[in-house]
Amino acid sequence: MATISTGEPHVHLALSSCATTLRRLANYELEPALARKLDELSERKELLNQTEHDELMALVEFARQRTIEKLEAQLALKRLHEIFPEVVSDN
């Protein structure tokens, strides 16, 4: 297995860029307007017409996918930090 030197500028830059992108995903929150719409539709789910129901299902799926991506990014950041603590901060 090859050894990776984080002292090399291009390696350090690549890892830092990955960590920055992962951190953005790991800290993702639904936009307030989307969260409000999701809450509003969820509260009235028994009374929704087909269009509103479809919108609710799309929002639920969107939120589910973003949650999965957020958790995966948090795990990837944790793993990167364990291997490269000098490059990837734990916050």
Sequence spans of domains, the chain: 9-83
| Torsion sign over Cα 33, 35, 41, 43 | negative
Structure confidence at residue 1 (pLDDT)? 56
For the CA atoms of 6, 11, 14, 17, the dihedral, rounded to the nearest 10 degrees, stands at 30
* Residue-level pLDDT, tens digit, the chain, 91 residues: 567 776 788 888 999 999 999 999 999 999 999 999 999 999 999 999 999 999 999 999 999 999 999 999 999 999 999 998 888 877 6
Q: Which two tokens stand for residue 40?
A: 């509003």
Could you tell me if 12 and 87 are in contact, meaning their C-beta atoms sit under 8 angstroms apart?
yes
Structure confidence at residue 12 (pLDDT)? 86
Angstrom distances, CA of residue 55 to CA of 35, 37, 51: 13, 9, 6
